[in-house]
Amino acid sequence: TIPRRFECFSCMSLSYQESWEHLQYIYTAPKMFTNRCNEPQLSNHIPTVICSTMCVNLLEPDVEA
């Protein structure tokens, strides 16, 4: 059988960019850091990557202490 491939958005919020020195050991580097990843009207401008397993969306509340 032919392996399935998925086109996934490659975007993380700017808060992750600030901690990227530590997070790079856990996550694959996104193509773009921006706080606008979840804006549907911008989906044509968010870069994509081809994944062989699945796409994951991680949404966290924007909480400042």
- In this prediction, residue 33 has a pLDDT band, given cuts at 50, 70 and 90, of very high
Tokens standing for 62? 């924007």
Q: Is 48 helix (H, G, I), strand (E, B) or coil?
A: strand
Ranges assigned E (strand) in 1-65: 6-9, 11-12, 32-33, 48-51
Convert the pLDDT of each residue in 39-50 to its tens digit.
Answer: 878 788 899 999
pLDDT mean over 30-35? 91
Convert the pLDDT of each residue in 17-31 to its tens digit.
Answer: 988 999 899 888 899
Tokens standing for 42? 């911008």
How many CB atoms are closer than 10 A to CB 37? 20
